[in-house]
Amino acid sequence: MKITVFGATGGVGREVVRQALAAGHEVTAVVRDPARLEVPPQERLRLAVAQDLTDESALLPVLAGQDAVVSALGAAGNKQARLRPVTGPALRSVVAAMERAGVARLAAVSAAPLGPHAEGDGLLLRKVGYPLLKWALRDVYADLAVMEAAIAASGLRWTVVRPPRLLNRPGTGHYRRALDANVPAGRVIARADVATALLDTLSDPTTAGYAVGVAA
C-alpha cells in the first residue's frame, strides 16, 4: 500500500511511519523539518516538505497515486490550539485535496473526550473528571472537533481513531476498540499502539465511516 502520513514527526506519526515501513508499505512522510523525523532513509520512504497544510493545491503532489492517508496531526497544547489552530484547518484542505486526487481512504487520530461516555464510567468521572479535562483542553478539543466535522462531511472512506491519554512506552501490538464509543475503563494507551490502530483501520472496511475508541 502507498500511504501518505501527515504529522509524521510527532510521537504517533513517527510510529506510523516506522510501522508502515516495517510492514512493507511505501510511505510519503509530510514534514516541515525533515531532521525531526528520526527515521533512517530507505528506499520505500519519501520525504515531502510542506510548510502550509492549508494550501490544498500544494498537497496534491504528495497525494497523487497514493492508496491511503494517515493523519497524526494534533496541537502540542491548549495555547497552540488557541493561538494557531492547525488540525481542523489542515484536515479541511487534506480532505479536499484527497477528493481531487482520487484518494479515498483516510485514518485520522482524534481524542477520546470527543466521544460519548464509556459504559461503566462513574458519576464522579462523568460530572467532574471529564468536564474539568474538557475545560482545561477546550481549545485542543475544539480544533479536533472542526477536524472531525470536516472528515465526516466528506465523501471519503474515513475512520477517526479516538485514544485516551497517550503514553511514551513500547507498543504491545494489542489494543481494545469500540465503534462509535469509548472503551470501558480505557484510560491510557501507548502512542505506538495508536499508530498500530491507525494502520489497522486502513485494511479493515468495518471501520469505515466510524469513530473508533481505542485503549490499552
Please provide residue 136's backbone torsions phi and psi, each rounded to the nearest 5 degrees: -65, -35
User: What letter represents residue 111's amino acid?
Assistant: A
Those residues with Cβ within 8 angstroms of residue 77's Cβ, 6 or more apart along the chain or in another chain = 140
The neighbour count for residue 92, using CB atoms within 10 Å, is: 20
Q: What is the per-residue pLDDT for 194? A: 98
**113, pLDDT greater than 90:** yes
Cell of 176: 481494545
Decide which of 78 and 51 is more confident: 51
The whole-angstrom separation of Cα 4 and Cα 2 is 7
* Band (84; pLDDT cuts 50, 70, 90): low
* Structural domains in the chain (count): 1
The residue-averaged pLDDT of 29-45 equals: 91
33: helix, coil or strand? coil
Q: Where are the beta strands (DSSP E) in the chain?
A: 2-6, 26-31, 45-49, 68-71, 105-109, 157-162, 165-167, 176-179, 188-190, 210-215
How far is residue 56's CA from residue 51's CA, in Å, rounded to a whole number? Answer: 12
The predicted-structure confidence for 148-185, as pLDDT tens digits, reads as follows 999 999 999 999 999 999 999 999 999 999 999 999 98
Helix (H) or strand (E) holding 78: helix 78-83
Beta strands in 120-187 (DSSP E): 157-162, 165-167, 176-179
What CA–CA distance (Å, rounded) separates 134 from 97? 31
Distance CA 175, CA 214 (A): 7
Average pLDDT score, the chain? 91
Distance between CA atoms of residues 53 and 92, nearest Å: 9
pTM, entire model: 0.93
Going by their DSSP bridges, the two strands 176-179 and 210-215 should be labelled as: antiparallel
Q: What is the mean pLDDT of residues 4-20?
A: 96
Write the CATH number for 87. Answer: 3.40.50.720
Q: d(Cα 3, Cα 173) in Å, to the nearest integer?
A: 20
The residue range of the domain holding 182 is 2-215
pLDDT at position 117, please? 77
Q: Which neighbouring-strand residues pair with 68?
A: 3, 105
